[in-house]
Structure 1
């Protein structure tokens, strides 16, 4: 009896709702329900009042839909999403799809006012007989139900989401009220459009467009009859009839839809037969959405972009939200179109150029049979490169010689990694790699800022590959280590001041060590920080003497960006992968400016460029030469050849190329790589020629631009008179020269009439740059006697002879 009573209550409620709805729609005709109403008049009146008192305002929030990340030329890189949904207009849905959906869900859709009286009568009859509560939902009612559920899910209200689809008479009556109200506010086409975008079609495909692309790899606009019928049939029970996982059930359901379309006269018998003849399995052309970066054609760049968009320190993107959850919600559910700076042609060619010399899955390092504890990948030689546009910060390309793992088996496989070697840790990158002699650029900038000119000299202790120069903590001064610091050169040189041009072109270690300690290691580190150099882990480089000589860990993007400051005449533009962001309704978001800032004097930048051009013209980086296109840069090689670099720029492009051993400290010595043998890999050997190819490809179509010339002051400096100190002791000469504003170094000896150790002459003499190093040449104490003059024997006078007969 309890069950019977419940059903009777449901019947009364449904009858009351129907009477109220019919009155609203003007569909109640005389005598239609008189017997039923007569029997339950008071109950019906009560139902009408209850119906009228229900809330009628219905609001549909914007649907969660996938966003799209594109490259600079419009190619799709990824579709970040909460749900695989692409919202489209009704015009973008094939008419046959619209007809199929209406046929199977609500064939009288264009005739009723949101509630179908015939359907309600069927529900009343079923409930009166003790059956389950039947909805007889119209397509409008289904749209209401799905929208209520979507709204609740977006508000993270799980209870409300369950209530929106719960089988109950009360929920059904509220649904009817909303449907009646909705039909007054929206056209039939608007309701159908909303339904088709909202419905779930199984296998994580939401909305007709996403489903069409997922199952058939075509847009909803191009669906044919059989495809349309298949999709239309899924919405009733998508979890158990989707064609990918349940092809037989999907086919049976499709045929039900086709039969219904034939019964309604939508299709002919011939069309029915042809559509049914196609097996569902043959219809499928599954295309999975690029829902995460692992599925992207450019997974490393994609991950970088996603983390860049979520980075709260990036205030230019505050329009996406001021908290990380807000930004993630908008990025994955806002239907945004995010166009990036990645040039697909430059990216493709850069990867080819890199992997030609540093192949994927290489096993270049000699195998150590005794070392069985390390993974095989410890023998990998890695390579990575980033290309940017210095005057905008746009990231044009980002490549490395590894592949992104997409299966569990690949995660620890040789040559696979999820780590982006080009960017910092916060962008799914790395802590970085030691950057070797590329650090010398920052000492050059500091030297030029403090008066050393391009044509100046710098002190240099003597050192060779075997005999190193020892610097004491007192000499090092700032950031001094605990004990002496020994530095070697690649060949025997030093012991006297060297031209800054030669020290730069040949990358002479002791010249830059002496220069750096003269400038102050802390001051050079401050220059690095000013030029936005930092470790891949985030903070500035630590204050160690070795840090300013390239032992710190940095990433290719950071280094390319710092060198790009020189290309941009001292102005820093932060690396930026975003060109534009538009909303789902095609409105551009107003992004904050990618603020470029002058960080070093333009004249200093031009002077540094003048010096770094010498590296390519006749120094360690000649293999990076671009011919007639002006270029500047610096090689870098760490101890034991563990890491090697070339970082350089033209007036329009800047790039950093790293080649090294990311998983071990074994140096790149005696290896074969990319078909070439290397006794020891220097920055000029592999990284430089790769850089050359990258920049050539990235510069196609660009005019050859000359660098701006530095001023005469930067080239020749502030010259003052050098005091005459010949005949003085070293101590006296040193004091006199220091008083005049110079540094002093004993540079050598010479024979003279002065006593041993007395200063004979200086180099330079006459005039020199204020603050430069003056070399003292002291007497050996030995004055050799003059050599006797040789007596010349006069040449004999030539004898005149007559020419032989017949010759003239």
Structure 2
């Protein structure tokens, strides 16, 4: 019985050899059709293998080209043959395929020997795969069938049919690639445990080195892992890893790649693993606590511009961003200095954009807390349009839009005197409590409001009003120009994604039972005629506020806030990434006039004067503070010719209480006392002083006389 089985096995091997030889024997009929079909399938698979590159890690860099984040499913960096140490090649060939440089893809002698061994041990399929065959199998499993569980299973089935197909493909591959190319491709595709794929990733993760610098013990350990990376995990099973490594070293000596004396010396070496053994971190959490929010914004920006997340994880792109590391670190330090990261329920967010008429580059996005994905960790949404982070609004910062609309309507300049009564009853707008106590106005009027205190004169220039922020003055201006014009101006100057969310700060929900949640903020305020829009009570994006300041400092040119300098593919070719085009949203003289009109906030009676003085700020800049009615949030925007920035401090807890900043550290309290001129302005002046430290002072633009006092 055993003799018959052995004869049958030898016959099967001979037949397989003939089939694998490329159908050299003439065939006819159905067998010929089947053989031709198999040949076509093998040829097609070979072509697909050779033309389908393996998944590669995408690298995200700062403005100077220094990486700060990586995206991947398989941590892999392609390595050309001349960048792999010869000892690594020797270790692999000695262990896996001693006749690699002699056979044509299949080692028939080894195949027959393995078949005899497996038959005697009761098996039918193990052993004798050449490096070329292993390359074929690994490429099928980890590249071609990476997302097909069924295909992966089929590519790993321990059957004669699968082995024959694999062998035929291997022989085809040998006709297309040199031995060095095959070895290099194998070393690029093979897994080394977890998400580590390829020799470059393994060299970094296990030894913190590169493939060209691998030593004999390091190369031997990695060569020994390839067929069982989990069982031979050197961290989990160091004894097994050393045993296997030393076996590989012995094989290298047997294969005349080392002397016996050298082998014994290398076997005495410790494993010498990196501490800890880790691949490069993937995703934005891996970019660190300082850069996580920026990384998230970059990924979101790319996915909104045609890249899928999967494409980013396998494409091997290099994404050069506009991130300024130093400014980011300075901004984060400033945010934490004003609101420590451990402060319960109070967030402090900051965004910085570089003005320009061709691009608005986002150089920093930070928060007082650290970026994280766990439920208990702080999160904020710079990655619009999914949400806006400050649900309570930017307060009087929105008066900028009213001022811009009024200047555009005409008949008004920044030195024009406007009304600013202590209280006011609007005959145009809804939204306030019925009746206007202290005004003598009857119940029938719709919107009543008063200024913060009685220190305001009844009339003042628009520039002074922008600096001191009387509520009544801007509601009167809002009446003059119309609410629709003010809402539209907010959109034009930069609040585009913000205005596209609803008053809860999320995308409109057409199924909601609440009408105000079914429409955008723009639609809600226009439809309701609610004058409070100029007082900024609705959810607001810190990034878009910064971009509004950048638009004003760019002569009225709005550009999408962009973090991208250039995207190159795995071959280093520029893919030609382009953002949406910039727009001239208001005429340049108007923007210049408004910038100058906002330049008094850090001076004299300006609401940010104390903060500016505290940090020694003297440069020309535009600025505007804002505080919401119940002190649940406050904001500051400011800009010079070099940088535009915004800061928002807000309650992000589940308790809708105010924020107190006096008589102790920042905290949630029943009735707040925060203002835009306190924590937000202090944060802004803190990091902007450092950002401008080595920059020459630049003046604000000149004002066209027609926008001074028409």
Q: TM-score, normalised by structure 2?
A: 0.85
Matches within 5 A, 1:562-577: 562-577=548-563
Q: Is 1:67–2:58 an aligned residue pair?
A: yes
1:5–1:151: structure 2 CA closer, same or farther, 3 Å change rule?
farther
Q: Is 1:417–2:378 an aligned residue pair?
A: yes
Match among 553, 560, 563 for residue 539 of structure 2: 553
1:136–1:212: structure 2 CA closer, same or farther, 3 Å change rule?
same
Q: Aligned partners of 1:610, 1:458: CA distance in 2, in Å?
A: 17
Q: Aligned partners of 1:134, 1:679: CA distance in 2, in Å?
A: 74
1:153–1:50: structure 2 CA closer, same or farther, 3 Å change rule?
closer
Deviations 1:648-686 (A, max 9, x none): 1111210001123222432233442389xx993221122
1:423–1:170: structure 2 CA closer, same or farther, 3 Å change rule?
closer
Tell me the SS of whatever aligns to 1:394: strand
1:550–1:284: structure 2 CA closer, same or farther, 3 Å change rule?
closer
1:699–1:105: structure 2 CA closer, same or farther, 3 Å change rule?
same
Q: Is 1:621–2:608 an aligned residue pair?
A: yes
Tell me the SS of whatever aligns to 2:258: coil
Q: Is 1:600–2:556 an aligned residue pair?
A: no
Matches within 5 A, 1:10-89: 10-19=9-18, 54-55=39-40, 56-57=42-43, 58-59=46-47, 60=49, 61-89=52-80
Tell me the SS of whatever aligns to 1:588: coil
Matches within 5 A, 1:209-224: 209-224=200-215
Q: Which residue of 2 aligns with 1:399?
A: 366
Q: Aligned partners of 1:284, 1:493: CA distance in 2, in Å?
A: 64
Mean Cα deviation higher: 206-215 or 568-577 = 206-215
1:292–1:7: structure 2 CA closer, same or farther, 3 Å change rule?
farther
Q: Which residue of 1 aligns with 2:428?
A: 476
Match among 454, 474, 484 for residue 414 of structure 2: 454
1:490–1:478: structure 2 CA closer, same or farther, 3 Å change rule?
closer
Q: Which residue of 1 aligns with 2:135?
A: 143
Mean Cα deviation higher: 585-594 or 548-557 = 585-594
Q: Which residue of 2 aligns with 1:276?
A: 267
- The alpha-carbon deviation at position 446 of structure 1 amounts to 1.0
Match among 519, 527, 533 for residue 481 of structure 2: 519
Q: Which residue of 2 aligns with 1:750?
A: none
- The alpha-carbon deviation at position 592 of structure 1 amounts to 2.1
Tell me the SS of whatever aligns to 2:567: strand
Q: Aligned partners of 1:67, 1:629: CA distance in 2, in Å?
A: 41
Q: Which residue of 2 aligns with 1:680?
A: 673
Q: Aligned partners of 2:672, 2:130: CA distance in 1, in Å?
A: 78
Q: Aligned partners of 1:624, 1:692: CA distance in 2, in Å?
A: 6
Q: Which residue of 2 aligns with 1:306?
A: 299
Q: Aligned partners of 1:470, 1:4: CA distance in 2, in Å?
A: 109
- The alpha-carbon deviation at position 190 of structure 1 amounts to 0.5
- The alpha-carbon deviation at position 334 of structure 1 amounts to 0.8
* Preserved contact between residue 390 and residue 648 of structure 2 (Cα < 8 Å): no
Matches within 5 A, 1:216-615: 216-280=207-271, 285-297=276-288, 298-311=291-304, 317-318=305-306, 320=307, 327-362=308-343, 377=344, 380-391=345-356, 392-405=359-372, 411-412=375-376, 416-420=377-381, 422-424=382-384, 426=386, 430=389, 432-450=391-409, 451-462=411-422, 469-472=423-426, 475-477=427-429, 484-493=446-455, 496-533=458-495, 534-535=498-499, 536-537=505-506, 539-541=520-522, 542-543=524-525, 544-615=530-601
Alignment gaps of 5+ in structure 2 = 435-444, 500-504, 508-519
Deviations 1:82-137 (A, max 9, x none): 21222221222222111111111111111222222321231343366554234411
1:580–1:522: structure 2 CA closer, same or farther, 3 Å change rule?
same
* Preserved contact between residue 10 and residue 169 of structure 1 (Cα < 8 Å): no
* Preserved contact between residue 633 and residue 651 of structure 2 (Cα < 8 Å): yes
* Preserved contact between residue 489 and residue 508 of structure 1 (Cα < 8 Å): yes
Q: Aligned partners of 2:175, 2:372: CA distance in 1, in Å?
A: 53
- The alpha-carbon deviation at position 179 of structure 1 amounts to 1.8
Q: Aligned partners of 2:625, 2:12: CA distance in 1, in Å?
A: 84
Mean Cα deviation higher: 121-130 or 352-361 = 121-130
Q: Aligned partners of 2:163, 2:314: CA distance in 1, in Å?
A: 29
1:54–1:23: structure 2 CA closer, same or farther, 3 Å change rule?
closer
Q: Aligned partners of 2:627, 2:107: CA distance in 1, in Å?
A: 79
Q: Aligned partners of 2:476, 2:7: CA distance in 1, in Å?
A: 99
- The alpha-carbon deviation at position 693 of structure 1 amounts to 2.5
Q: Aligned partners of 2:275, 2:242: CA distance in 1, in Å?
A: 12
Tell me the SS of whatever aligns to 2:560: coil
* Preserved contact between residue 66 and residue 336 of structure 1 (Cα < 8 Å): yes
Tell me the SS of whatever aligns to 1:201: coil
Q: Aligned partners of 1:8, 1:306: CA distance in 2, in Å?
A: 61
- The alpha-carbon deviation at position 494 of structure 1 amounts to 5.9
* Preserved contact between residue 481 and residue 545 of structure 1 (Cα < 8 Å): no
* Preserved contact between residue 317 and residue 568 of structure 2 (Cα < 8 Å): yes
**Which structure is higher in RCO with an 8 Å CA cutoff and minimum separation 6?**
2
Alignment gaps of 5+ in structure 1 = 26-41, 312-316, 321-326, 363-376, 463-468, 718-808
* Preserved contact between residue 648 and residue 680 of structure 2 (Cα < 8 Å): yes
* Preserved contact between residue 630 and residue 672 of structure 2 (Cα < 8 Å): no
- The alpha-carbon deviation at position 150 of structure 1 amounts to 3.3
* Preserved contact between residue 316 and residue 569 of structure 2 (Cα < 8 Å): yes
Count of residues in Structure 1 that have an aligned counterpart in Structure 2: 653
Match among 178, 181, 201 for residue 187 of structure 1: 178
Q: Which residue of 2 aligns with 1:693?
A: 686
Tell me the SS of whatever aligns to 1:99: helix
- The alpha-carbon deviation at position 397 of structure 1 amounts to 0.7
Tell me the SS of whatever aligns to 2:600: helix
Q: Aligned partners of 2:453, 2:164: CA distance in 1, in Å?
A: 91
1:699–1:283: structure 2 CA closer, same or farther, 3 Å change rule?
closer
Q: Aligned partners of 1:334, 1:147: CA distance in 2, in Å?
A: 16
Q: Aligned partners of 1:418, 1:638: CA distance in 2, in Å?
A: 22
Q: Aligned partners of 2:384, 2:21: CA distance in 1, in Å?
A: 66
Tell me the SS of whatever aligns to 1:554: coil
Q: Aligned partners of 1:563, 1:6: CA distance in 2, in Å?
A: 84
